[in-house]
Structure 1
Amino acid sequence: MKKTKISIIEDNKVVRENVSKFVGFHEEFELCQVHGSVESFLHALNINPSIQSDILILDIGLPGLSGLEAIPLILEKLPHQDIIMLTTYEEEDVILKALCSGACSYISKKASLDEIVEALRIVANGGSYMSPSVAREIVNHLMGGRVSKASILSDRQKEILEKLVDGKSYATISTELFISVETVRSHVKKLYKVLQVNNKTEAITQYMKGYIK
Structure 2
Amino acid sequence: MTNKQIRVLLYDDADQFREAITLLLDQAEGFEVVGNFNNCETAVADIEMLKPDVILMDIDMPGATGMDGVRMIRQKNLTVKIIMLTVFDNNKNIYDAIRLGANGYVLKKSTPDAIINAIKDVNDGGAPMNSSIATQVLQMFAGMSPGTQNYGLSEKEKQVLKSLVDGNSYKMVASSLNISIDTVRSHIRSIYEKLQVNSKSAAVAKALKDRIL
Measured against aligned partners, the alpha-carbon deviations of 1:129-178 in whole angstroms (never above 9, x if no partner) come to: 001111111112222xx31229xxxxxxxxxxxxxxxxxxxxxxxxxxxx
Aligned equivalents of 1:26 and 1:136: distance in 2? Answer: 29
Per the alignment, do residues 202 and 72 of structure 1 end up closer, same or farther by CA in structure 2, a change over 3 Å counting?
closer
1:14 partnered with 2:16: yes
8 A Cα contact 1:197 1:206, kept in partner? no
SS of the residue 1:98 aligns to = helix
Q: CA deviation at 1:38?
A: 0.7
Q: CA deviation at 1:197?
A: 6.0
Letter in 2 for 1:105: G
What TM-score do you get using the length of structure 1 for normalisation?
0.69
8 A Cα contact 1:138 1:204, kept in partner? no
Letter in 2 for 1:69: D
Q: CA deviation at 1:109?
A: 1.4
Q: Which residue pairs with 1:82 in the alignment?
A: 81
Per the alignment, do residues 79 and 204 of structure 1 end up closer, same or farther by CA in structure 2, a change over 3 Å counting?
closer
Per the alignment, do residues 207 and 37 of structure 1 end up closer, same or farther by CA in structure 2, a change over 3 Å counting?
same
After TM superposition, list the pairs within 5 Å mapping 1:150-165 onto structure 2.
Answer: none
Q: Which residue pairs with 1:198 in the alignment?
A: 164
Name whichever of 134-143 and 90-99 sits farther off.
134-143
Letter in 1 for 2:91: E
Per the alignment, do residues 65 and 209 of structure 1 end up closer, same or farther by CA in structure 2, a change over 3 Å counting?
farther
What runs of 5+ residues in structure 2 fail to find an aligned partner?
A: 148-157, 168-200
Aligned equivalents of 2:135 and 2:203: distance in 1? Answer: 14
Q: Which residue pairs with 1:147 in the alignment?
A: 144
Higher relative contact order, chain-length normalized (CA < 8 Å, sep 6+): 2
What TM-score do you get using the length of structure 2 for normalisation?
0.69
Letter in 1 for 2:146: K
Letter in 1 for 2:57: L
RMSD (Å), alpha carbons: 2.5
Q: CA deviation at 1:83?
A: 0.2
Aligned equivalents of 1:52 and 1:11: distance in 2? Answer: 21
Aligned equivalents of 2:72 and 2:44: distance in 1? Answer: 9
8 A Cα contact 2:9 2:34, kept in partner? yes
SS of the residue 2:94 aligns to = helix
Q: Which residue pairs with 1:107 in the alignment?
A: 106
Q: CA deviation at 1:74?
A: 1.1
What runs of 5+ residues in structure 1 fail to find an aligned partner?
A: 151-191
Per the alignment, do residues 204 and 89 of structure 1 end up closer, same or farther by CA in structure 2, a change over 3 Å counting?
farther
Q: Which residue pairs with 2:52 in the alignment?
A: 53
1:133 partnered with 2:152: no
Q: CA deviation at 1:98?
A: 0.3
Q: CA deviation at 1:50?
A: 3.3
Name whichever of 52-61 and 33-42 sits farther off.
33-42
SS of the residue 1:148 aligns to = coil
Aligned equivalents of 1:89 and 1:35: distance in 2? Answer: 20
Q: CA deviation at 1:44?
A: 4.1
Paired residues, what number? 165
Per the alignment, do residues 209 and 75 of structure 1 end up closer, same or farther by CA in structure 2, a change over 3 Å counting?
farther
Letter in 2 for 1:198: L
1:72 partnered with 2:38: no
8 A Cα contact 2:11 2:40, kept in partner? yes
Q: CA deviation at 1:88?
A: 1.0
> Which of the pair has more CA radius of gyration?
1
